[in-house]
Structure 1
């Protein structure tokens, strides 16, 4: 699966980050708890230099708890503060605020506000995190990668301000496995994907790890051996038919992908920490 995606506005975003990093003293790096390595932008480390960094494993409610615990230990072992969060529902926000309060900035008189930057790849939940921390809708939210544009300073609490910035994704996905992880979790737009190919591979994983969830979700007595046959069975059960009675594989694939991303097929972690 060869995927390249680098919208023009993301080059501008990278330039903006370089300009604004000097304005902050801590960076909140937002990762997808299902794919922490694939969702960690490889260029961010060089851009941030020695800035303080907090790792937030977002969408933890869609990931397997035991693996999230392993990832927390992994990143803590690298010296980072780590929070598991569900920014859409506000879980983990209190813990994150408490961590930010610890980054006190000495000034001539008293202390300056802690200024933080939220950074992450597209569609990882940056705007949802900002809104959850602010307690109101202040940043635009959308389920399409690349929806957040521009920048804004937002006062979260007395002494804490956040700079919301669009996510950055590298020009060339480094491996087919990484491309699959980013695509199946929603960091890459539908338009550049072979959706059926993506869902075939996804179904193979679900068949292997959680076959009962497929039986329950799609009311199947037995699962066929192959992902292609399973996709057709799902389409038949849901009534996704083309003129002439043929299964609409594309529509079925889009529905399966959407339901996976929403956690309706169960909780999945697609990457485990390196040994």
Structure 2
């Protein structure tokens, strides 16, 4: 992505620094770590410090919002995480798809060694304690509530809602330690920041919505052109810029103000909202890294 016209994005509220300390100080209380990522951008939606923060704890990576992502790309990501030593599954917190497999996978795969040891020692009733982590707005609280069968965790469609740790009892044998969402001190790679902005992990208040929409449209034109053609009924040519595409969306939706000028801000809000709502189709924003031979 071309970042020349996008201001540098920084995002590290004070409560996120506290989260790093909370993770480190509470890690000894749990048997495994459950990490939630966005299936559309699994690597960008992982805190790069998480490997270090969670040390050598067994881990399950949950690719949430998989119903919004490209199926084939999601499977490649699952294979990637498994090759890196973490079990991985795809779920969708809104529809509930895949959620029932989370606890069985943890107990039969992620914690198989621990569960076998407990069985040999007659400790089958001992509770499994899990720490659940993820960046803001990745659907962590929604997954917890589905697993717990009640509104245990606060849910809002904006980043940074969960501010303190809380224990949630899932069943008689499983307890979950919910940690606040954590990003990182600074974005070394602005492409990562932009992908997070596309999905809403970064507050829209610190971004130029029109620039963001133009970048998204340019990405879609190159990688998923049918999503633009089918949704907005506009042609895509090799010469069109993100601004051209945004203005065409505004024209097609009748977003014209005095003097025939296109209301590009309104068009931008529409494009971003429709992408986040899945109305542009199943789209992945990044591919797994290529393994070195």
Kindly tell me the number of residue pairs found equivalent between the two proteins: 274
Aligned residue for 1:86?
Answer: 92
Q: Take 1:252 and 1:170, find their aligned partners in 2: how far apart are those partners?
A: 31
Structure 2 runs not aligned, ≥5 long: 1-5
Aligned residue for 1:169?
Answer: 183
- Pairing of 1:1-275 with structure 2 (within 5 A): 1=6, 2-102=8-108, 103=111, 104=115, 106=118, 110-111=123-124, 112-220=126-234, 222-223=235-236, 225-275=240-290
TM-score, length-scaled by structure 2? 0.88
Displacement after TM superposition at 1:265 (Å): 0.8
User: C-alpha offsets along residues 214-264 of structure 1, whole Å, 9 cap, x if unaligned?
Assistant: 2322233x3462221221121223233445543221121111011111111
Structural RMSD (CA):
1.8
Q: Take 1:109 and 1:205, find their aligned partners in 2: how far apart are those partners?
A: 55
Displacement after TM superposition at 1:189 (Å): 0.5
User: C-alpha offsets along residues 182-238 of structure 1, whole Å, 9 cap, x if unaligned?
Assistant: 111111000111221111111012122333322322233x34622212211212232
TM-score, length-scaled by structure 1? 0.93
Displacement after TM superposition at 1:92 (Å): 1.3
Q: Take 2:20 and 2:28, find their aligned partners in 1: how far apart are those partners?
A: 14
Structure 1 runs not aligned, ≥5 long: none
Q: Take 1:9 and 1:78, find their aligned partners in 2: how far apart are those partners?
A: 30
The answer to whether the 8 A contact 1:88-1:132 is kept is no
The answer to whether the 8 A contact 1:100-1:160 is kept is no
Q: Take 1:106 and 1:253, find their aligned partners in 2: how far apart are those partners?
A: 55
SS in structure 2 opposite 1:216? helix
Displacement after TM superposition at 1:140 (Å): 1.1
Displacement after TM superposition at 1:84 (Å): 0.5
